[in-house]
Structure 1
Amino acid sequence: MPPEAAPLIGRWIDHFKCDFKISRTRGTKFGDYRAPFDGKGHRISVNYDLNAYAFLVTTVHEFAHLYTWNQHQHKVKPHGTEWKENFKKMMQPFFEKDVFPADIKLAITKYLNNPAASSCSDLNLYRSLRKYDAPKENIITVEKLPMQSLFKMKDGRVFRKDEKLRKRYKCTEVATRRVYLFSPVAEVEVVEQ
């Protein structure tokens, strides 16, 4: 995470008596919060391979869950109004410390108008955060592929990019001819035709 943010996150870990772990990459999520259960206290994990800014945003997201749980336990929705307010509040110190570059700060400010369950669902914020990732060889996002080009997923399945719908791309799996919808920011590998 950005060095200026670490002292505050450290204080949160101590204050909330939280078991904070840096986790292996999980394809389905960047971070996770677990409420106290069976003698274990609060637990937060964040994927190790996120860039510093994505790591911080994910960490604050998970701490907002912890703080909301302390206030309401299971009486509110995980990403409901209470969590949204806590997330906004908990992001504020990092704006005051000017931790984020201007483009990410602008994207987070827009995102904070109505935070979603995942920073991935806000494409503007996701794209801003991704600009600070280390380059990945042979990896491209679906939105940057030309129409009708072939690409493959990590599992080796090959798809053809067909058309853009409202927010997603309709793509056909070559082997089965089944149609799938892909996020524009899904990372794939180009297949030479």
Structure 2
Amino acid sequence: MQDMLQGYIPEQSMAQVLNLLKHDNLTVTIKKERKTRHGDYMRLPNGKHQITVNSNLNQYRFLVTLIHEIAHFEAYKAYGRFIKPHGIEWKRTFQHLMLPFLNPTIFPNDLLSLLAKHFKNPKASSDTDVNLALALKQFDRPNNKTYIFEVPIGSTFKLYNGKVFKKSQKRVKRYECIEINTGKLYLFNPNAEVELLNE
């Protein structure tokens, strides 16, 4: 397990992570990038449990995602299968598991304060916490994507699925965008990554 995780998580977190993964019936698999999620947890038909995490995540996001998924496994073991996926049992478990990692030997200081705030009430996805998502993204490898909040109003952009949108006005937190082909209105988080189209 240590060899597999080498380079994917901060070195100083390795011993603690390996300790959390000491279960005979739990496996971790590193997958190619999936656009709709960073990782997942699944109870397999044979009674074993599987966690998958995307290989393209930077080491800090990978660690948060891995602990997120371990929290699903631990919550399942402690409370059974009838709990809500991101309900109070999972939140408490995630908070408890994450606490020992929230220190400056593992995370940079500018991430620590945002993580501490996030873990007062962790969400189903760290991407919905805009400030934390933006802070985590600064450690990603460079790509040709632009954030929605950087796109000028009236400009067009494309998503990974090929759909083309035109940016409209901002609501309280999110941006209204019109899909060009259908005229439908969609709301985008400010930190959504898109490809700006030359007009």
Find the counterpart in structure 2 of residue 28 from structure 1: 36
Question: Following superposition of structure 1 onto structure 2, how do residues 29-108 of structure 1 map, counting pairs within 5 Å?
Answer: 29-35=37-43, 37-96=44-103, 98-108=105-115
Question: Following superposition of structure 1 onto structure 2, how do residues 108-119 of structure 1 map, counting pairs within 5 Å?
Answer: 108-119=115-126
Amino acid across the alignment from 1:27 = K
Amino acid across the alignment from 1:134 = R
Find the counterpart in structure 2 of residue 161 from structure 1: 167
What is the CA RMSD across the aligned residues, in angstroms? 1.5
- Three-state SS of the structure 1 residue aligned to 2:133 is helix
Find the counterpart in structure 2 of residue 13 from structure 1: 21
Amino acid across the alignment from 1:64 = A
TM-score, structure 1 normalization: 0.92
Of 105, 122, 127, which aligns to 2:129?
122
Find the counterpart in structure 1 of residue 5 from structure 2: none
Q: Distance in 2 between matches of 1:97 and 1:165?
A: 36
Cα shift readout 1:100-156 (whole Å, capped 9, x = no counterpart): 01111111100111111111111121111111111102x101111111111112233
Q: Distance in 2 between matches of 1:156 and 1:102?
A: 37
Find the counterpart in structure 2 of residue 172 from structure 1: 178
Is residue 2:139 matched to residue 1:132?
A: yes
Q: Distance in 1 between matches of 2:125 and 2:50?
A: 18
Of 131, 136, 147, which aligns to 2:153?
147
Q: Distance in 1 between matches of 2:68 and 2:153?
A: 35
Question: Does the CA-based 8 Å contact 1:4-1:97 persist in structure 2?
Answer: no
| Alpha carbons of structure 1 residues 97 and 142: separation in structure 2 relative to 1, 3 Å | closer
- Three-state SS of the structure 2 residue aligned to 1:172 is strand
Q: Distance in 2 between matches of 1:142 and 1:110?
A: 24
- Percentage of pairs with the same residue: 38
Unpaired stretches in structure 1, ≥5 consecutive residues? none
Q: Distance in 2 between matches of 1:46 and 1:162?
A: 34
| Alpha carbons of structure 1 residues 97 and 131: separation in structure 2 relative to 1, 3 Å | closer
| Alpha carbons of structure 1 residues 170 and 38: separation in structure 2 relative to 1, 3 Å | same
Q: Distance in 2 between matches of 1:46 and 1:54?
A: 10
TM-score, structure 2 normalization: 0.90
Deviation at 1:67, TM superposition (A): 0.7
Q: Distance in 1 between matches of 2:65 and 2:39?
A: 6
Matched residue pairs, number? 191
Deviation at 1:164, TM superposition (A): 0.5
Amino acid across the alignment from 1:104 = L
